[in-house]
């Protein structure tokens, strides 16, 4: 059996959350990430019959029964993950009953997965129905996207269009737009359900005055998705105090979409 600490999926998770912390997206223990793992890949590193303990999920995830996830721990600081992955991360399998997680590795100090796991699993269920290749759900607190939610309309179309106009890459990277939720209390079933509903139409969902949820095929893609939206928000916030002399127009957006062969939401470009 190979050393799980040297597995590509664990090393990539450590690298990703370290970068999220470095960029200021995940202060203290803010933010969480879950990665749906390939069963056969996991079997190279762990014996799936050896369950260390079981942990209640707090949500019926029967649709994901048997699925294995690598998940950040609750109360854990992303800055510590790379040096001590076994305490800060865990590999869990959704039990057949759907309401219990079987711990296969990690949370060695007696900890458990993020309190946002139900919201993650709801979003995984939604995204897998839209695109079976979507295996990552990532939550963080990018400063500029949060700042925008204080001063910008929370209308999804207008919020997205403001970002599309900041730089060419925004239309290219998230032509499907950004879902937006008003402020809601985090860690509740309500915000998980609301986020999952948005995930039927969007890979990015902003939580006003809190953060963002992103979904993608792998850690790189999901990180890059959030990174691009945050860059657009940074440009928006930096230019906001000044007169705008030129911008990317709707005709320009159509040119971008055609050139990069991406499809934007109908009616979102005039």
Q: What pLDDT does 35 receive?
A: 98
Q: Report yes or no: 137 and 213 within 8 Å, Cβ to Cβ.
A: yes
31 backbone dihedrals φ, ψ, rounded to 5°: 95, 160
Q: What pLDDT does 103 receive?
A: 98
Residue 12 above 90 pLDDT? yes
Residue with tokens 């711990």: 103
Q: Report yes or no: 52 and 103 within 8 Å, Cβ to Cβ.
A: yes
Q: Report yes or no: 35 and 17 within 8 Å, Cβ to Cβ.
A: no
Distance, in Å, from the CA atom of 262 to the CA atom of 191, rounded to the nearest integer, reads 30
CA 24 to chain centre: 15
CATH class of the region 116-270: alpha beta
Four-residue CA torsion sign, 255, 256, 260, 264: negative
Assign 234 a pLDDT band (cuts: 50, 70, 90).
very high
Rounded to an integer, the average pLDDT of 250-268 is 97
Rounded to an integer, the average pLDDT of 28-33 is 94
Q: What pLDDT does 254 receive?
A: 98
Element (H, E) at 214: strand 211-216
For the structural domain made of 1-114, what CATH number should be given?
3.40.225.10
Distance, in Å, from the CA atom of 118 to the CA atom of 109, rounded to the nearest integer, reads 22
Q: Which two tokens stand for residue 115?
A: 């309190």
Element (H, E) at 134: none
Distance, in Å, from the CA atom of 114 to the CA atom of 258, rounded to the nearest integer, reads 41
Q: What pLDDT does 21 receive?
A: 97
Percentages helix, strand, coil for the chain, rounded to the nearest 5?
Answer: 40, 20, 40
Rounded to an integer, the average pLDDT of 90-108 is 98
Q: Report yes or no: 224 and 173 within 8 Å, Cβ to Cβ.
A: yes
Q: Which value, in Å, is the radius of gyration of the alpha carbons in the chain?
A: 19
In the predicted model, what is the mean pLDDT of the chain?
97
Q: Report yes or no: 144 and 122 within 8 Å, Cβ to Cβ.
A: no
Specify the DSSP class assigned to residue 230: H
Residue 160, SS3 per DSSP: helix
Could you give the residue ranges of the DSSP H alpha helices within 219-264? 219-239, 250-260
Q: What pLDDT does 187 receive?
A: 85
pLDDT in tens, 143-172: 999 999 999 999 999 999 999 999 999 999
Strand partners, 55: 101
Share of the chain above pLDDT 70, in %: 100
Distance, in Å, from the CA atom of 31 to the CA atom of 15, rounded to the nearest integer, reads 15
Rounded to an integer, the average pLDDT of 63-89 is 97
Q: What pLDDT does 1 receive?
A: 82
Q: List the domain boundaries for the chain.
A: 1-114, 116-270
116-270 shares the fold of 1-114: yes
List the Cα angle 27/89/65 in 5-degree steps: 120
| Catalytic residue numbers, as ranges | 116
Residue 205 above 90 pLDDT? yes
């Amino acid at each position: 059996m190979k050393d799980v600490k040297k597995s590509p999926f664990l090393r990539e998770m450590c690298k990703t959350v370290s970068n999220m912390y470095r960029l200021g997206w995940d202060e203290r223990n803010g933010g969480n990430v879950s990665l749906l793992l390939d069963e056969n890949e996991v079997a190279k590193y762990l014996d799936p019959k050896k369950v260390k303990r079981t942990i209640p999920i707090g949500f019926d995830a029967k649709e994901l029964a048997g699925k294995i996830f690598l998940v950040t721990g609750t109360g854990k600081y992303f800055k510590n993950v790379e040096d001590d992955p076994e305490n800060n991360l865990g590999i869990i399998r959704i039990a057949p009953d759907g309401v219990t997680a079987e711990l296969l590795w990690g949370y060695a100090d007696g900890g458990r997965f993020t309190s946002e796991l139900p919201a993650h699993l709801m979003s995984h269920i939604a995204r897998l129905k839209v695109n079976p290749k979507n295996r990552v759900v990532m939550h963080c607190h990018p400063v500029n996207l949060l700042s925008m939610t204080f001063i910008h309309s929370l209308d999804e179309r207008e919020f997205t269009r403001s970002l599309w106009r900041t730089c060419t890459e925004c239309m290219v990277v998230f032509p499907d737009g950004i879902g937006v939720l008003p402020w809601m209390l985090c860690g509740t079933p309500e915000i998980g359900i609301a986020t999952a509903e948005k995930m039927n139409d969007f890979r990015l969902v902003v939580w006003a005055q809190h953060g963002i949820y992103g979904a993608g095929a792998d850690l790189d893609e999901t990180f890059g998705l959030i990174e691009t939206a945050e860059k657009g928000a940074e440009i928006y916030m930096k230019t906001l105090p000044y007169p705008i002399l030129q911008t990317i127009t709707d005709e320009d957006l159509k040119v971008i979409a055609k050139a990069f062969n991406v499809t934007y939401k109908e009616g979102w470009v005039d």
